[in-house]
Amino acid sequence: MDRRLYGALVAAPAVAVGLYALYAYRSKKSLYFWFNVPYSGGRGTFRGLFVKARNFIYRNTIQDRLWNYIEARSEEGNADSVLAAFDDYCYNYEWTWAIGDKKAAILAKVVQEAKPKVTLELGTFLGYSAIIIAQNMPSDGKLITVEANPKSAEIAKKIISRAGFGDKVTVINAFSYDVIPNLHHDYDVETLDMVFLDHFKTGYVADLQRLEKGGFLHNGSVAFADNVDGEGSPGFSEYIRKSGHYECQFYEADVEYFAGVSDGMDRGIFKGADMFSGETLGL
């Protein structure tokens, strides 16, 4: 092989790594952040490995690290300062599943328009979206948020409380399919004015159907979902449009904390309450 060609082949990986490091430096983000972002064609593949590695090295979790950062850099009872610290960490240190400030603006608008007195959130991670909902719902509104991961539920309670909404938001550590049938009995919920779906992506349609069949949605209830485009929840947008029970609007968005990776959010305003009585869940 020609020596110049051989040298170029050997040097190419080093040059690529150097350019990558320079780009990370100039963008003022940590190198770890850039190994941690969601790549199209395999979202989370690299991120999961690096999160596990860092958890092992630091003997804590991403939930702990984010909480420690927020606690040190936010003001007790000041929701805006909590969200600002949350965003700063996720933009510059570790990418996470929180919806982020860009999508938060969309969520806030949807909540303001819906004016929900009773809201159910499926999947809170560490409480970012719960804070946005609590900030924008009526003063006498209540939010029930369901998080299956015990560690995330534990830290979410701390972050939500630090933001000043501990008395308005109930965090439940359970699976959505266990909570929904018992909303009447265990949580004194007759109907929901809004449900925000941001949990197991393959569970969106099934859980929405559980809410429909259980009689939890009235005419005008809002079903709003994140991650419905790209590699997100399969079938949600198609379902709410083909069911005939929803008035729909799609919102284009990028993946949280990372511009250039396409994503989207979808809203359905329920119009089919007369089709469901709640009897199918034995309520």
* pLDDT per position as a tens digit, 236-277: 999 999 999 999 999 999 888 877 778 899 999 999 877 776
Active site residues: 198, 201, 226-227, 256
Min mean pLDDT across 80-89, 96-105, 117-126 is at 96-105
Please name which of 148, 113, 156 lies closest in space to residue 251, comparing C-alpha atoms: 113
- State residue 280's pLDDT score: 47
**CA of 86: how far to CAs of 56, 71, 108, 223, in Å?**
22, 10, 17, 26
* pLDDT per position as a tens digit, 138-149: 999 999 999 999
- State residue 58's pLDDT score: 67
Label residue 229 by pLDDT band (50, 70, 90): confident
Strand partners, 197: 122, 225
- pTM metric for this prediction: 0.81
* Percent of the residues in the chain that have a pLDDT greater than 90, as a whole number: 64
CA-to-CA distance for 233 and 221, rounded, in angstroms? 20
Min mean pLDDT across 4-13, 100-109, 171-180, 249-258 is at 4-13
If one compares 214 and 279, the residue with the highest pLDDT of the two is 214
CA-to-CA distance for 156 and 170, rounded, in angstroms? 10
Kindly tell me if the per-residue pLDDT of 36 is higher than 70: no
